[in-house]
Copies of this chain bind each other. A is one copy, B any other.
Amino acid sequence: MSILRRVFPTFAQSVCNPIVSYLNKVKYTAKMSKKTALLLIAEGSEEMEAVITTDVLRRVGIDVTVAGLTENPCVKCSRDVKICVDAKLSDAVNQKYDVVILPGGLNGSKAFANSSEVGKLLQQQEQENRLIAAICAAPTALKIHGIAKGKKITSYPAMKDQLTDYYKYLEDKVVIDGNLITSRGPATAFDFSLAIAEKLIDKQTADDAAKAMLYKN
């Protein structure tokens, strides 16, 4: 027993140290590689589309920053739900994001279209080959800022006529063309979010999140 008492700690250490070191490395790598999303909201953004997307992406482990276009810390959405932002856009743009997301809502989308700061952000995101995602009325803001000309796209049905001269318009619930993901409206926001999750992480993670939310598309 005395030999065991002397030998075992050294033995245990020699086995355990590499395991602990490996686990720390995995943890560090996971932290380093955590995907990031910037979701913009403006007065009149569609709150379901903003919140479903934020919630689903956080469920799959994506670090989502909800950023407002103005100084206002809380933003009144299209059906008067008031959502507090995590950051102002002017501060949030100091870092890069794996995806920039525009929820819909008519007035919110107009605010995105009218913002040169949003235009600059989207153009840089496109030039650097990172993901852009827009749903409902928001694809109209992409066109205004000259994003993804000629690509396959969808939107809220009423916006179709504004987009067909600039994009290949499809009517699927979610359309993915390279680094562009677009979708149609509140009821397709789950599919939209899960498509972003699958693109940034993997299908299994997206499927697991869908199951936990009782979602069958």
Q: Name A residues whose Cβ lies closer than 8 Å to a Cβ of B.
A: 46-48, 51-52, 54-56, 58-59, 66, 74, 78-84, 156-157, 184-188, 190, 210, 213-216
Report the nearest B residue to A185, measured CB to CB. B214
Q: Is the CB of A81 within 8 A of B51?
A: yes
Cβ–Cβ < 8 Å partners of A47 in chain B: 51, 54-55
Q: Is the CB of A55 within 8 A of B186?
A: yes
User: With the chains together, A66 CA to B47 CA distance in Å?
Assistant: 14
Residue with the greatest number of chain B CB neighbours at <10 A, chosen from A51, A74, A83: A51
Cβ–Cβ < 8 Å partners of A213 in chain B: 48, 185-187
Q: Is the CB of A214 within 8 A of B190?
A: no
Cβ–Cβ < 8 Å partners of A81 in chain B: 51, 54-55, 66, 83
